[in-house]
Amino acid sequence: MSRLKPDDRKLQILRAALIVASKDGGLSTISRQSVAKEAGCAESLVSRYFGTMVEFKRTIMRAAVHNSILPVIAQGLAMGDKHAQKADPELKSKALATLQ
């Protein structure tokens, strides 16, 4: 099996994080271990590419807003995440509707 290029691996891990964060309890309970398992990589790679959990969650939320991943944005809004709060009002409205 060939190794992924660093940018490709980082994107793979971020996509896995968005999947994990979209599940029940997601963003508030996300861990390096759960993301690494979803991505099929070592936990150390998650840390290497995304730093602390605070930095990682910030990156996840920015990606969720950029890609309109409503369940993650809704979680961010419920948690008072400043990046979720900066989302377009229509996007925030759609995200909050997923909580009902």
**CATH code at position 68:** 1.10.357.10
* The pLDDT of residue 3: 81
Q: With 0-12 CB in 10 A as exposed, 13-18 as middle and 19+ as buried, what is 29?
A: exposed
- Residue 36 and residue 82: Cα distance in Å, rounded? 26
* The pLDDT of residue 95: 95
pTM of the model as a whole: 0.90
Domain membership of residue 51 (yes or no) is yes
- Residue 27 and residue 76: Cα distance in Å, rounded? 8
Joined together, the tokens standing for residue 79 give 């948690």
- Residue 31's domain comprises 6-97
Look at 1 and 8; give whichever has higher pLDDT: 8
Domains of the chain: total:
1
List alpha helices for 23-69, DSSP H. Answer: 26-29, 32-39, 43-50, 53-66
In this prediction, residues 67-87 reach a mean pLDDT of 94
Q: What is the pLDDT of residues 11-66, one digit of tens each?
A: 999 999 999 999 867 888 899 999 999 999 999 999 999 999 999 999 999 999 99
Domain membership of residue 1 (yes or no) is no
